């Protein structure tokens, strides 16, 4: 029987830096990534958290920064997109973007043809290619097989990362842990203890960076092995814990 890590404690001081995954952590997954909706309550909580932490809050997500901005508009926060291949170090600063290589574009077209009409969504995110099978779970194994086979025909430096409802192909340097370390080396994060909430296998690298830094790692809805120190059962519990976090640090 799998035993989930314990629930995270309420944090009683303001010397924290907060890093947040989005899909499956702040928002419930949808069959299509564009189907998710950010409510006013979540947006207000993020504003309050950012204020009480002196700006030491950042999204660390597989989405592009442009997609994050569209989702949370008009709110703009620090963000690492595409697992750190894109980043905006200041809320109103420039975004370092990543282009789509020709070989990844060609693979995307092949997969679109393979899964045409089967409720599989091929998401093209610059150098990252995501195959979403949430609406067709019976095709998860096939999507992983095809992406792993594609590694043989691509240049060195790519990896396949299977998840709970799909698989992503990405450069080796795409890693949430590296994105977290980049933020922690700069103000206003420097000198604080980091906290990271995530929900999938792609977040384990981020948990590793957090644990190494003596921070607090929290996995949402843990499924299988995790190196996160703590867990919460679902998105609603993550929201409740963050609400307490904001209240304690504001008081």
Q: What is the pLDDT of residues 62-106, one digit of tens each?
A: 999 999 999 999 999 999 999 999 999 999 899 987 888 999 999
Q: Token pair for residue 31? A: 């069959």
Domains of the chain by start residue, with CATH: 16-97+174-250 (3.40.50.1000), 102-171 (3.30.1360)
Tokens of 13: 């001081």
Instruction: For residue 44, indicate whether it is catalytic.
Output: no
β-strands 16-20, 57-60: how paired? parallel
Residue whose token pair is 């997109």:
81
pLDDT mean over 31-39? 83
- Among 10, 14, 21, 156, the one annotated catalytic: 21
Name the percent of the chain lying above pLDDT 90.
78
Angle ∠(74,48,58) on CA atoms, nearest 5: 70
Distance linking the first and last C-alpha atoms of the chain: 40
pLDDT at 184: 97
Q: What CA–CA distance (Å, rounded) separates 236 from 225? A: 22
Q: How confident is the model at residue 2 (pLDDT cuts 50, 70, 90)?
A: low
**Predicted pLDDT at 198:** 96
At 94-151, the pLDDT tens digits run 998 788 899 999 999 999 999 999 999 999 988 999 999 989 999 999 999 999 999 9
What average pLDDT is seen over the chain?
A: 92
Instruction: Give the pLDDT band of residue 173 (cuts 50, 70, 90).
Output: confident
- Spatial distance between the Cα atoms of 88 and 100, rounded to a whole number of angstroms: 19
């Amino acid at each position: 029987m799998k035993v989930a890590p314990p629930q995270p404690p309420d944090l009683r001081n303001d010397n924290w830096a907060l890093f947040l995954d989005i899909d499956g952590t702040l928002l419930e997954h949808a069959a299509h990534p564009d189907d998710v909706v950010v409510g006013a309550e979540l947006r207000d909580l993020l504003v309050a958290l950012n204020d009480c932490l002196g700006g030491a809050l950042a999204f660390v997500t597989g989405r592009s920064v442009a997609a994050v901005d569209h989702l949370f508009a008009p709110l703009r926060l620090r963000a690492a997109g595409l697992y750190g291949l894109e980043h905006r170090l200041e809320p109103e600063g420039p975004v370092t973007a990543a282009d789509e290589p020709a070989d990844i574009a060609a693979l995307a077209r092949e997969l679109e043809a393979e899964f045409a009409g089967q409720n599989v969504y091929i998401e093209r995110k610059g150098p990252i290619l995501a195959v979403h099978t949430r609406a067709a779970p019976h095709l998860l194994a096939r999507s992983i097989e095809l992406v792993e086979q594609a590694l043989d025909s691509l240049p060195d430096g790519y990896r396949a990362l299977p998840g709970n409802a799909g698989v992503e192909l990405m450069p080796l340097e795409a890693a949430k842990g590296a994105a977290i370390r980049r933020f922690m080396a700069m103000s206003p994060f420097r000198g604080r203890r980091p906290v990271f909430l995530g929900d999938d296998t792609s977040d384990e690298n981020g948990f590793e960076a957090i644990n190494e830094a003596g921070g607090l790692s929290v996995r949402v809805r843990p499924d299988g092995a995790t190196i996160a120190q703590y867990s919460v059962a679902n998105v609603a519990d993550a929201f409740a814990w963050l609400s307490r976090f904001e209240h304690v640090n504001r008081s």
